[in-house]
Amino acid sequence: MPIVAMVMVVMLLGVLLWLLQRNEVEESRLTLIKDILWVEQNIHFHLTTGEEKLGQLAIEIARVELPSEAFQVQARAMIANSAEFDRVLLRDADGGLAAAVPPADSEPSTQASRDAFTLAKSIGRAAWSAPFAMAGRGQVIEAHVPIFRHQRFVGMLVGVISVDALLTHHVPWWVAERYKIEIIDGNGATLGAKTLVELAEPGPSHQVRLEPPGQGLAVVATVYSSETNLARNLLATAIFALALLSLSSLWLVRRHVRRRLAAEQALRTEHAFRKAMEDSLTVGMRARDLGGRITYVNRAFCRMVGWGEDELVGQAPPMPYWSPDALEATMEMHDRVMAGEAPAEGFEIQFRRSNGENFWALVYEAPLIDADGRHAGWMASVLDITERKRAEEMARQQEEKLQRTGRLITMGEMASTLAHELNQPLSAIASYNAGCLNRLGASGFDPDELRAALTKLGVQAQRAGQIIRRVHDFVRKSEPQLGPCPLNKVVEDTVGFIEFDAQRRGVALQVTLAATDIQVSADRILLEQVVLNLVRNGLEAMVNTPSRHRKLSITVSVVDDQAVVAVADHGSGVPPEIAENLFQAFFTTKDEGMGMGLNICRSIVEYHQGRLWFEPNTGGGAVFRFSLPMRAT
C-alpha cells in the first residue's frame, strides 16, 4: 500500500506540473501573438503613411514642375517627420538620378531597385523593392512611386527606408524588453533585429507577413527564457524526481545492466560476423578520412601490399605502398579522389609491395558516410590486376607476332611479283655491263661513251637496292614506332609495291591522292601492310570480273578532320551472311586463306585510334575504308 500510495502521489504531482506548464505556455503564446500583431500593425501604419506621403509628393511633381529647392524642402520635411526614411530620390524616365535628399553625386542601382522601378512603371502605382544591402546603411527597401504627366511616364519618386531605423523607431521599448523582434526576407535571412533581452535559449516564436512592402518580408518575435514561475515548477519537479528516483533506481540499474550486457553481446556477434566476412574477401578494402589519412584496411589489402594493419592505419600521404616510380601520378590521383573527382568506372594505378615488387591495382572509390549521414571520408575497393596486365601484354605480343606473320605470308604470296621487279633492274644491269665490255674491246674506244651507260647502270642498281630494303623493312618490323607519316606517300609506295601484280591480273589502278600533304601519327610499315592487304583483297575479288570492268580505285581524302583511305573494287561484293564475321580471326572465304588479313588490318587501325569498315560499291563490289586522326601541325 505505501508503494501504491507513493506511486499515486508521484502521478498526481506529475499531472499538476503538466497542467501548470501547459497553462503557462498557452498564456505566453497568446501574449506573443497579440504583441507581434501590434508591432506589425504599427510598422504597417508607418510604411503606409510613408507611401502616401511619397504619392502626394509625386502628384504635386506631376501637376507642376517643382523647382529643385521646393523638392529639397519637401523631401527634407518628409525625412524629418518619418524617421524610417533614409533618403528620397527622384529618378528620370530612364532611371537616371535627377535629384537626391540628402544630396548625392550618384546612387548605386541594384537589381532589386531596377526590378521595382520596372514594376512600378508597368503597373502605374507604387511598388516596393526586395531588400538589399547598401554600404554604410545596412539593409534597405525602396518604395517606388511613378510620376505621370498627361498620361506619360516622366519619372520615379523613390523613398529609401532603412530596416534598422524602422525597428529602432517603431518597436517600443516595452516590446523589446520581452522579445527579440526581427525582420526577415523570404529565404529566412535576418535583415534587422531589435531586443533589450539578455539572450539565452530561444523559446516560442511567431511571425506575421509584412504588407507592405511584401516581397516575402515578415516580422518575427521570439521569446527568450527569463525568470518566471519556473522556480516553483523546478521545485515541484525536484520533489517528483526524488520520489520517482527512490522507487525506480534499483529497477533502472538492473534493467540498464541487462540491456548493456545484451547490447555488448549483440555488438560482439555483429563484429565477429563482419570480421569473418571481411577476412573472406579477396578484394582489398581501404578507408581514408577527408584529410587522406588511412582509418581502416582489411586483411586482403594487407596481404596485397605486404604491410600489416598496425603499420598502415594512421598513415598520411605519401603512403608506404606508393611506387616511387609513379609517385607524381599517384599523388595527382590522390588529390582528385580527395576532391571528389574519382572516376566512377575506377582507375588503374601502380603500387609497391613491402618486398619492393611493383604491381598494378584497379581502384574504385566511393564516399564514406557515417552514422549521422555526414561525409566522413572515402572507401576504396582495390583489385590486384597484375596477372590481367600480363595477359594483356602477352595478347599484345601475340598480336604483333600475328601481324609479322601476316606480312611474311603476304611477302610469300608476292614472291613472283618481287622476283619480276628485281629481274628488271638486274637484267638492265647485265645488259649495260655487256655493252660496256663490248665498247671496251672496240677499236677507237672513247671513255665518254660509257658515261651514260654507267649512269643508267647505277640507277638500276639503286632501284634494286630500294626494292630489297623495302621488303626487308616490311618483313622485319615487330615493335610499332609511331611518328609523322605522310599518308599520300604511304599509298604511293604501296601502289608501286603491287602495281606489277595488278598489271598481271589485268586490273587498272586509279589512285586519287589528297590535295594537301596529310600527316598522321603512325607506324609507316604497319600502314603499308593495311593498304597492301586491302589492295590485294580487291585484286583477288575481281578474278571473275570482265576485264573491261577490272578497276581498283584508291582514294585519300579528309572527312570531318579525319584522314580517310578508301579502296573500291568491282568484284562480287560481300554477301550479307558473311558480313558480320568478316573481321573475325580465322574467318576466310578463300580456299587457302588463313582468315587473319582483315582481322590484323582492323587491329592495326584501332591501335592507331582509327576505324576500319566496308560499304557496298554503287557500281558493284565493295569499298573498304579506314580513318585515322590527323596529326596536329
What pTM was computed for the model?
Answer: 0.37
- Joined grid coordinates for residue 89: 530620390
Q: Per-residue pLDDT tens for 206-246?
A: 888 887 787 788 888 888 755 555 666 677 677 777 777 77
Q: Per-residue pLDDT tens for 512-541?
A: 998 888 899 888 877 887 888 888 888 888
Question: φ, ψ for residue 125 (rounded to 5)?
Answer: -150, 180
CATH no., domain 282-384? 3.30.450.20
How large is the average pLDDT for residues 365-390?
84
Return the pLDDT at 593.
46
If DSSP states are collapsed to H, E and C, what string results for 472-523? HHHHHCCCCCCEEEEHHHHHHHHHHHHHHHHHHHCCEEEEECCCCCCEEEEC
CA 48 to chain centre: 51
How large is the average pLDDT for residues 42-70?
82
Helix axes 449-476, 386-413, angle to 10 degrees: 140
CATH architecture of the domain with range 2-223: 2-Layer Sandwich (3.30)
How large is the average pLDDT for residues 361-381?
86
Neighbours of 356 (CB within 10 A): 9
Neighbours of 386 (CB within 10 A): 15
Least confident of 10-24, 269-283, 406-420, 545-559: 406-420
pLDDT over 90 at 81, yes or no: no
Q: Per-residue pLDDT tens for 568-589?
A: 998 887 777 776 667 665 445 5
Residue 158 β-bridge partners? 89, 144
Q: How many helices (H) and strands (E) would you count in the chain? A: 16, 22
Fold of the CATH domain 481-633: Heat Shock Protein 90 (3.30.565)
* pLDDT bracket for residue 565 (50, 70, 90): very high
Return the pLDDT at 555.
94
Return the pLDDT at 554.
93
Percent of the chain whose predicted confidence (pLDDT) is above 70: 82
**Ranges of each domain in the chain:** 2-223, 232-280, 282-384, 407-479, 481-633
pLDDT over 90 at 96, yes or no: no
**Looking at per-residue confidence, does 342 or 249 come out higher?**
342
Domain 2-223 and domain 282-384 have a common topology: yes
* pLDDT bracket for residue 591 (50, 70, 90): very low
Q: Per-residue pLDDT tens for 254-297?
A: 788 889 898 888 888 887 777 777 666 678 888 888 888 998 88
CA distance linking residue 388 with residue 607, whole number of Å: 19
How large is the average pLDDT for residues 600-609?
83
Length of the chain: 633
pLDDT over 80 at 436, yes or no: no
Q: Per-residue pLDDT tens for 494-520?
A: 887 677 778 888 889 999 998 888 899
| Burial tier of 111 (Cβ tally within 10 Å: 0-12, 13-18, 19+) | exposed
Return the pLDDT at 390.
81
Residue appearing with cell numbers 606517300: 489
* pLDDT bracket for residue 594 (50, 70, 90): very low
Across the chain, what does the average pLDDT equal?
80
What 8-state DSSP symbol labels residue 630? Answer: B
Q: Per-residue pLDDT tens for 459-486?
A: 667 756 765 665 555 555 555 678 889 9
**Looking at per-residue confidence, does 310 or 588 come out higher?**
310
Return the pLDDT at 626.
92
Return the pLDDT at 467.
57
pLDDT over 80 at 328, yes or no: yes
Return the pLDDT at 297.
87
**Looking at per-residue confidence, does 28 or 334 come out higher?**
334
| CA diameter of the chain | 159
Percent of the chain whose predicted confidence (pLDDT) is above 90: 5
Return the pLDDT at 627.
93
Return the pLDDT at 466.
60
How large is the average pLDDT for residues 325-338?
87
